[in-house]
């Protein structure tokens, strides 16, 4: 499928388990982002990547790990899930030539941590 | 540093009525401003943007927004609401194109359109 996809779309896990959320884009965009969306907070940036093998922290990085070995993939791992990480997670991407604000979003992953 | 305040977490309008969603920003550098729309169970989609130049910007689906520096505002309007406009709308700001200019979102306004 063209565009940006996320998997799984829904995930239920238990406290303490490791969870990986996948993000894949077909546009070869340089930049990729992970956000979490929570009621009353809007979207908050977790991590971003400017290119393969280059990642940096966003506003709320604690408890998350990312990697980017290939331009098209940007997985997000919760090493030991906590209830506070229950949220909807969005992956996004943009070209290096666009402004920071012109991002394309995936459909989201709804994660529930019991 | 930058921030966005969206006044009103919920707005309800009748079909055919004016839509006005309010956004005020704070930025230490000239801002780039954006409105995104999120339909149920979907990701965000860019509705319109202001970077430089004309302060009245038009977007998709008949929406427009005006950048008012003196009021630090970027309100979103549409002359006549349609049922399909029901969604959540996010205002966002960035300080330009530098790597330090990350996108900061408001908390969102849910638009309800009634018959």
**pLDDT reading at B99 higher than 60:** no
Residues 6+ apart with CB under 8 A from B16: B80, B81
CB of B30 within 8 Å of a chain A CB? The answer is: no
B51–chain A Cβ distance below 8 A for any pair:
yes
Q: What is the mean pLDDT of residues B71-99?
A: 90
Q: Does A48 sit within 8 Å of B96, measured CB to CB?
A: no
Q: Tell me if chain A has a CB within 8 Å of the CB of B43.
A: yes
Per-residue pLDDT of chain A (114 residues), as tens digits, is 579 999 999 999 999 999 999 999 999 899 999 999 998 888 999 999 999 999 999 999 999 999 999 999 999 999 999 999 999 999 999 987 777 778 999 999 999 999
Q: What is the mean pLDDT of residues B28-48?
A: 91
The tokens of B12 are what? Answer: 């309800």
Q: What is the DSSP string of B11-78?
A: EEEETTS-EEEEEEEEESS--EEEEEEE-TTS-EEEEEEE-SS-SEEE-GGG-EEEEETTTTEEEEEE
- Average pLDDT (B68-74) is 95
Q: Would you say residue B104 has pLDDT above 80?
A: yes
CB contact under 8 A, A99 and B32: yes
- The CA distance from A14 to the nearest CA of chain B, in Å, is 23
Give the mean model confidence (pLDDT) for residues B13-34: 93
DSSP string, A23-80: EEESS--SEEEEEEEETTTEEEEEEEEEETTEEEE-S--TTEEE--SSTTB--EEESS
Q: Is B99 on the interface with A (CB under 8 A)?
A: yes
Neighbours of A9 (CB within 10 A): 12
Which helix (H) or strand (E) segment holds residue B87: the answer is strand B87-94
In this predicted structure, what is the pLDDT of residue A1?
59
CB B80 within 8 A of CB B18: yes
Mutate to test the interface with B, among A101, A103, A104 (most CBs of B within 10 A): A101
* Contact (CB<8Å) A101/B44: no
Residues of A in contact with B107 (CB under 8 A): 40-42
């Amino acid at each position: 499928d063209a565009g940006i996809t996320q998997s799984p779309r829904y995930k239920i896990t238990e406290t303490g388990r490791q969870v990986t959320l996948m993000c894949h884009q077909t546009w070869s965009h340089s930049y990729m982002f992970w956000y979490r969306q929570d009621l009353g907070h809007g979207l908050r940036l977790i991590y971003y990547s400017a290119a393969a093998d280059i990642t940096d922290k966003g506003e709320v990085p604690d408890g998350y790990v990312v990697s980017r070995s290939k331009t098209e993939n940007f997985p997000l791992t919760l090493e030991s899930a906590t209830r506070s990480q229950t949220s909807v997670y969005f992956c996004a991407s943009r070209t290096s030539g666009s402004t920071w604000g012109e991002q394309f979003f995936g459909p989201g992953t709804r994660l529930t941590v019991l | 540093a930058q921030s966005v305040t969206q006044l009103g977490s919920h707005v309800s309008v009748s079909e055919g009525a004016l839509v006005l969603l309010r956004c005020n920003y704070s930025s230490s550098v000239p801002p780039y401003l954006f409105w995104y729309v999120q339909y149920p169970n979907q990701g965000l989609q860019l509705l319109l943007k202001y970077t430089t130049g004309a302060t009245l910007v038009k977007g998709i689906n008949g929406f427009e927004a005006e950048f008012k520096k003196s009021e630090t505002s970027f309100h979103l309007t549409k002359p006549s609401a349609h049922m399909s406009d029901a969604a959540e709308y996010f205002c966002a700001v960035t300080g330009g194109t530098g790597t330090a200019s990350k996108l900061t979102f408001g908390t969102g306004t849910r638009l309800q359109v009634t018959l």
